[in-house]
Amino acid sequence: MPGSKHNIKPDCNDFKSVARALTIVENNLSGAGQLLKSLTFTKNIPVIGVTGPPGAGKSTLVNAVITNFADQGKKIAVLAIDPTSPFNFGSLLGDRIRMASNFNHPNVFIRSLATRGSLGGLSTKTIEMTDVLKAAGFDYVLVETVGVGQSEVEIAGLADITFVVLVPEGGDEIQSIKSGLMEIADAFIVNKADRDGADVFANNLKKMVQQKGTEIPVFKTIASQNNGIDEICNFTYAHTEKRNNHKEYLLTEKAYKLIQQKRMANINKAELYQSVSEAVKQTGFNIYLFAEKYSETQNPTSDF
Task: For 214-266, write each residue's pLDDT tens digit.
Answer: 788 999 999 999 999 999 999 998 886 555 556 676 677 778 878 887 788 78
Write the DSSP string, 152-166: GGGGGGT-SEEEEEE
**pLDDT score at 302:** 45
User: What type of residue is 143?
Assistant: V
76-82 and 47-51 strand pairing: unpaired
Percentage of residues of the chain with pLDDT beyond 90: 40
CATH number, position 114:
3.40.50.300
User: 20 lies in a domain?
Assistant: no
Predicted confidence (pLDDT) per residue in 122-163, tens digit: 567 888 899 999 999 999 999 998 665 444 556 766 888 889
Please check whether residues 190 and 218 belong to one and the same domain: yes
Write down the pLDDT at residue 247: 66
What kind and span of H or E run contains 110? strand 108-114
Residue 115 lies in a domain: yes
List the one residue out of 81, 79, 57 whose CA is nearest residue 166. 57
For residue 23, give every residue at least 6 positions away whose Cβ sits within 8 Å of its Cβ, in sequence order, or none: 29
pLDDT of residue 21: 97
State the pLDDT at residue 1.
Answer: 42
Q: What is the pTM of this model?
A: 0.80
Same domain, 55 and 199: yes
Q: Can you give the pLDDT at residue 171?
A: 55
145 and 285 fall within a common domain? no
pLDDT of residue 255: 82
Task: Identify the domain containing residue 294 by its residue range.
Answer: 268-298
pLDDT at residue 224 in the model: 92
